[in-house]
A and B are shown apart, each in its own frame.
Chain A
């Protein structure tokens, strides 16, 4: 699961890899030539044993040589610039096709709110998108907003990063061409748990994405066996910050929990989402993620079991 920029699966990342190889090639040649000359000069012109102590010929400069090593780099820079400008416009100015999926991502300290405005889906930290066939592309256009400080959205295998800035709306697009899960994390320092603000993009086939979306659109399950836990949950401060659609819980400060158990991690990727870690999280989030803004709920052991049992039914 190494998020290498040299293992792209989406057009912007492919383009950046290509331009990167081009630049790496040019700089490698420059390095070999200049370092080669330097090594040669340092070895060849070292002072040798038995030196006569006389000063070597003094060369004050040469207009032709100096002009040459001004103009050659200038030419290289012009070429580099033209290539760069072309790639900037090709990536940033791509128009949004009508069949594109729209996703809005809101950065929070220290988790990601994921909204699909046209599908009526709200989730967190794990983005699901359909595969895009280059012959018949279905790209995903992402709108980036922040609820507090600056974050940065970066999934290296899909696209370059884009900052997530309060009071400013940024956009980025991806068209992943292979199913799988691609990881990334916040790339702009955003406070105490910057390191614990990870995210993942899961790319489905189109059919699988349709199924995932349908499941997410449903209201929360109402499992008879977890009724007691649900009552307890509704009576606690949980509902001030969390939403469980179809219940009285409609807080917006924390992640939407309607389909909590469909996510593979909790705490924005800091721990796998199992009943055990979920219980530990509800008991004291700081035990898994020091500094997390959710307070320890200080529940009795019995209540903790009931709330965890209820949350475990939110598939």
Chain B
């Protein structure tokens, strides 16, 4: 279909003979949205492996009661670094990386609106991540072996004050996230501007792929909720070094105020991560069901609705703070309301599958598992929204299980689906479906053994963030099962990495449109040339390539 393939092959052959230093130089100085997108995603995967190893170490320590494999100070650092890394250095770079890569291709643009700002955003985020992890080896620390932060990923005041965390550990957390946050804000501005001003001919807002709508929603959300966190972090820095007392309870400051700042960011942040996951599912499920997305308008409205409601639900993280009955009731109501648009999405995906001809590629398998797991995550979310129930579940292992169902069962599963789906576009090579199936089944088994089981110790009264527990509380068996799921997940990730490396070396050539898909990115070469499209295509419906393949029955009249 593409007239560009020949030139691309020639370009690739030329590339292969260039010295590695020149290639590296190209990547470092690039302002191309596709290269930056790939670098974001690779950064996220590397940090995913780091955070996964931290989690595995914690599960080893918790496999049996009263173990002494990991001392408490190390364990506390591990869960702090695991949570912080997963949210800020895995979730954010991967979703914004995909946004970077796909948005211009999907809307028919040649790049993002501000290519240099884009490069700035990536490098600043990477620097923040490296600064955070430098804490493992750098700094004098209190215990001699590095000074990784040990305040939990939401760093509640006043534990973060100089009085309770001496040394530099907390400063690594504070400064690294402040810096990484600036990068994320820059990228959000960039995506927002691009989507609003650089759509190709005919690409009206109402014809944009759902994934682009999700990126529009989360970019706007980021601009609203991330600056308050940055402000709070600056206030924390003032408290720690210039004698301010915002969160210093011993001088009249407020510990609860930090929680308001943090969760006003922290709760919408969950939607910033999961909405692009919905976007991946909304692109992939239709293609492998061979059907148009059921109810595009309601689906988009539901996404935007979730984004709006998301800003009014933060205090459900604070049901046990003692905010009073009126606030507890109000935030229970707003939280339950999220269930409605979320339900709409699940129903629309089912409506898409229904009556289709489903092809279970690896990408589709991950989306199917996502449907069931995200359903569980949503239903435990409803349980948590019932404030009195939350008084028991909050800060227990039930909550830990819940948000891992959201962020792994929901987000990471759709990210894997997205990688299997768009890898051919980004590299020109197919990933192995055989290895993909091994990856999928091992991961789905390991994930559910670990996290389905993890709900139970929470119901039995086990709080989160404890480095060990007594053997007489009835938690031992459940914790052992939770830990036994880990080796399956490690094996799955290893297979995934092997699959990528092998595909890059000698994967099957992908061609322009290996999945017989319908959105614009499949209309150009794989990988796309730096300018994306030789001629920017004119769009007249939500599925431009469907129109091209079915000139007798175009989408336009049905929309």
Contact = CB atoms under 8 A, between A and B. Distances in A.
A27 B255 contact: no
Contact of B388 (A61, A156, A160): A160
A37 B356 CA distance: 14
A88 B387 contact: yes
Interface in A45-99: 45-47, 51, 55-62, 65-66, 69-70, 73-74, 76-77, 80-81, 83-85, 87-89, 91-93
A70 B290 contact: no
Contacts of B391: 16, 159-162
Interface residues of A, number: 91
Interface string B385-425: 11111111111100000000000000000000000000000
B5 interface: no
Contact of B346 (A34, A51, A91, A156): A34
B365 to A, nearest CB: 10
A27 B383 contact: yes
A45 B360 CA distance: 11
Contact of A165 (B321, B339, B459, B470): B321
A84 B385 CA distance: 9
Interface of A: 1-6, 13, 15-16, 19-20, 23-24, 26-27, 30-31, 34-35, 37-38, 41-42, 45-47, 51, 55-62, 65-66, 69-70, 73-74, 76-77, 80-81, 83-85, 87-89, 91-93, 109, 148-150, 152, 154, 156-157, 159-163, 165-168, 170-171, 183-196, 198, 269, 290-291
B149 to A, nearest CB: 12
A167 B249 contact: yes
Contacts of B379: 27, 30-31
B459 A188 contact: no
Contacts of A76: 339
B388 A15 contact: yes
Contacts of A26: 382
B152 interface: yes
Contacts of B389: 16, 19-20, 23
A166 to B, nearest CB: 4
B164 interface: yes
Given A3-B461, A73-B343, A80-B382, A59 B375 contact: no
B411 to A, nearest CB: 19
Contacts of A191: 76, 150, 159, 164
A24 B371 contact: no
B292 A59 contact: yes
Nearest to B389: A20
B460 A166 contact: no
B295 interface: yes
A184 B355 CA distance: 52
B296 interface: yes
A5 B55 CA distance: 27
30 contacts: A1-B473, A1-B474, A2-B474, A16-B391, A41-B350, A47-B358, A59-B291, A60-B558, A61-B295, A61-B298, A77-B337, A85-B332, A88-B388, A148-B164, A152-B463, A156-B461, A163-B320, A166-B249, A167-B249, A167-B255, A168-B322, A171-B322, A183-B461, A187-B395, A189-B76, A189-B156, A192-B76, A193-B72, A195-B466, A195-B467
A160 B398 CA distance: 14
